[in-house]
């Protein structure tokens, strides 16, 4: 792992939370992610399974967590299975966890080798009625590749057909949405690293610089600070910013254009998600500034509406309706279009066509109930936008916000937003 060790108290707390949700006579099983391949025998950097990491802190392939909170034998109540280190594996892939190291990371006392999983599991399953199995139930998840969790589910359904099988994902979705103070601190660190990356970008921003050169500055700074990219970054100048998921990052930044950067550092598997817009020449034009300020007003109001009890659908609609008012003031919507504005058919849809935000944490789109309501401990991105392809202008502003009982806390408060502050940020980064 590239990050500093995390206090295992975090993972112990998470296991206690999920154990409290399981009915009597239950067992829950959670797998590590498979390593992913490229072409030939190539492999991509290993991405730990978020659910297993949330419960154990373990980032190693072939690991399996078994929870049986009311098992007869105390040693069976929490068990972690890991692959046994061997000389060949050490030569090709490097160090594998020892049992003691796995105990230290996870706080789990019973660590067993993976080869003992099937026989140990059988001895517990014959005592249990309910078997909670995990799958990726994110609303936009792909199912082309069958996960280890799903392969295990098929095997157990065939081998133990008269057990009661249940879904673990709904329980994890509710629990993972609420971050504790330790998780929030990791996200704060990810935001701080992201800010450092943007500092490096601005020190190199000038007409003619290539988008990919600026992306390289982000990668370099994140790497120096023991972080990785949380997702494919968007470095989009001019009209490219009107493509919502633009990741080519392959055009020159032209004088007079705006540059939109949507990026987040991944630190200890928790991801920031920040979007800022910069004038390539260092100063906004009057037209750019009025459009920017319209989006900024919607962002600021939406942050204030990120409060306990709010449903995500109402939260989004409030932003859409406010944006429609901004568009009407800007002359981009006529009176009839503005007055026809409704939740079912938002008048802003042509110019602001995406959602307002999403849960953030272990991954850029973290698990959370689909419509909330927001609870204290949720971390939400807030990201209104305005896109005018005919003018070559795309503006999206995004901050990460913690929901608390005392109101929203902006985790991106140190990343300049006001247009004058953005211009000053560029100037100071360039020493002008």
pTM of the model: 0.95
Q: Which residues of 4-30 are buried (b: 16+ CB within 10 A; e: fewer)?
A: eebebebbbebbebbbebbeeebbbbb
Please report the domains of the chain, with CATH numbers, ordered by start residue. 9-176 (3.40.350.10), 181-429 (3.90.230.10)
Per-residue pLDDT of the chain (432 residues; tens, 9 = 90+): 789 999 999 999 999 999 999 999 999 999 999 988 888 778 888 999 999 999 999 999 999 999 999 999 999 999 999 999 999 989 988 999 999 999 999 999 999 999 999 999 999 999 999 999 999 887 777 667 788 999 999 999 999 999 999 999 999 999 999 999 999 999 999 999 999 999 999 999 999 999 999 999 999 999 999 999 999 999 999 999 999 999 999 999 999 999 999 999 999 999 999 999 999 999 999 999 999 999 999 999 999 999 999 999 999 999 999 999 999 999 999 999 999 999 999 999 999 999 999 999 999 999 999 999 999 999 999 999 999 999 999 999 999 999 999 999 999 999 999 999 999 999 999 988
Q: pLDDT at position 147, please? A: 87
Distance from CA of residue 363 to its chain's centroid? 3
Res 416: pLDDT: 98
Q: Which of 67, 100, 94 is nearest to 172 (CA)?
A: 67
By the 8 A CB rule, do 372 and 312 touch?
yes
Distant-in-sequence contacts of 144-150, Cβ < 8 A, 24+ apart: 145/34, 147/31, 147/33, 147/34, 148/31, 148/32, 148/33, 148/34, 149/29, 149/30, 149/31
Return the pLDDT at 143.
64
């Amino acid at each position: 792992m590239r990050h500093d060790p995390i206090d295992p108290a975090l993972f112990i707390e998470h296991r206690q939370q999920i154990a409290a949700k399981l009915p009597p006579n239950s067992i829950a099983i959670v797998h590590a992610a498979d390593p992913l391949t490229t072409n030939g025998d190539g492999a991509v950097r290993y991405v730990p399974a978020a659910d297993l990491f949330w419960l154990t802190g373990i980032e190693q392939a072939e690991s399996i967590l078994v929870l049986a909170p009311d098992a007869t034998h105390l040693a069976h109540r929490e068990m972690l299975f890991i692959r046994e280190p061997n000389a060949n594996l050490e030569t090709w892939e490097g160090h594998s966890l020892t049992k003691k190291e796995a105990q230290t990371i996870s706080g789990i006392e019973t660590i067993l080798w993976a080869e003992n999983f099937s026989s140990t599991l059988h001895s517990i399953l014959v005592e249990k009625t309910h078997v909670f199995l995990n799958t990726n139930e994110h609303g936009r998840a792909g199912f082309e590749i069958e996960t280890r969790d799903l392969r295990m589910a098929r095997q157990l359904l065939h081998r133990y057909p008269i057990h009661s099988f249940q879904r673990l994902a709904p329980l994890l979705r509710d629990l993972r949405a609420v971050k504790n103070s330790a998780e929030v601190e990791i996200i704060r660190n990810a935001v701080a690293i992201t800010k450092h990356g943007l500092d490096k970008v601005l020190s190199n921003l000038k007409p003619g610089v290539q988008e990919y050169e600026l992306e390289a500055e982000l990668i370099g700074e994140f790497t120096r600070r023991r972080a990785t990219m949380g997702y494919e970054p968007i470095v989009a100048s001019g009209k490219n910013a009107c493509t919502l998921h633009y990741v080519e990052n392959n055009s020159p930044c032209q004088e007079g254009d705006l540059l939109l950067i949507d990026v987040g550092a991944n630190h200890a598997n928790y991801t920031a998600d920040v979007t800022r817009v910069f004038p390539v020449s260092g100063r906004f034009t009057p037209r750019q500034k009025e459009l920017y300020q319209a989006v900024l007003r919607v962002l600021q109001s939406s942050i204030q509406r990120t409060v306990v009890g709010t449903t995500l659908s109402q939260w989004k609609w409030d932003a859409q309706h406010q944006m429609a008012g901004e568009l009407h003031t800007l002359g981009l919507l006529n009176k009839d279009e503005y007055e026809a504005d409704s939740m079912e058919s938002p008048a802003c849809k042509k110019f602001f066509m995406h959602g307002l935000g999403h849960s953030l944490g272990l991954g850029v789109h973290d698990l959370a109930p689909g419509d909330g309501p927001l609870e204290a401990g949720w971390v939400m991105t807030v990201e209104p936008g305005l896109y005018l392809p005919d003018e070559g202008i795309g503006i999206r502003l995004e901050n990460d916000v913690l929901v608390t009982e005392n109101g929203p806390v902006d985790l991106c408060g140190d990343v300049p937003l006001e247009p004058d502050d953005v211009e000053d940020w560029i100037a100071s980064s360039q020493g002008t």
